[in-house]
Amino acid sequence: MTLISATDTTLAYRLEGVTRTYRQRDRQVQALASIDLDIAAGDFVTIQGPTGGGKSTLLQMLGALDRPTAGTVMLGDLDIARASAAELARLRAHEIGFVFQGFNLIPTLTAAENVDMGLEPLGLDRPERLRRIADALVRVGLADRHDHRPSELSGGQQQRVAIARAIAKQPRVLLADEPTGNLDERMRDEILDVLEQLNTEGLTLVVVTHDSAVARRARRRLRLAGGRVTDITRG
């Protein structure tokens, strides 16, 4: 199978022969079928495709939330497929940020307190935590909403808090699963502006989306269907 390669020689991810099968009742389902893929550090990649095509499974592989049945998933020099549970936990805590369609904010906490929740596993002292919280909220344009609870924020603002929570730990990669799926067009574009700005600052972005308007904003567009990936960026 031809390697679907990034143009940059510095890689965030390299996947080789990645296959994932599941047992579903009395049959075996192949979610990913021998995927070979490079993702450059600092790239902005979107993944589109039909429901059930393997998008969420691939994102789980990239996020060290699942292991392939066969193949290797390299994040830098670490093979996620063969790493220990402790190594994967450290990777998720320090190296990978996650943003989901549902904002997953704690309703009784302020924006700043929700961002702080993402820093819990890092063992930082209080001054460093406060510095990172303030910086993350500034970067998503919510410095003046730090003491607002989710019910006092719009949907777009809530998603920006979720992004701030993800970037406060200063991850190498940000993975987003339908991050604009619950938003109207104006709020969607606000979130895309934030993501694009983070990407220009060097953060690697991988975004799963059904929305072609979101995909068109990326530098690189992948399509995943039937467990196989194709690069449609270059036509």
Span 163-182, pLDDT tens digits? 999 999 999 999 999 999 98
Considering the entire predicted model, what is its pTM?
0.91
pLDDT value at residue 202: 93
- Residue 27: pLDDT band (50, 70, 90) is confident
Q: Are strands 70-75 and 78-79 parallel, antiparallel or unpaired?
A: antiparallel
Could you give the percent of the chain with pLDDT greater than 70?
95
Given a contact cutoff of 8 angstroms between Cβ atoms, the answer to whether 123 and 159 are in contact is no
The side-by-side arrangement of strands in the sheet containing 27-40 is 27-40, 11-24, 70-75, 78-79
Under the banding of pLDDT at 50, 70 and 90, the label for residue 82 is very high
Q: How confident is the model at residue 63 (pLDDT cuts 50, 70, 90)?
A: very high
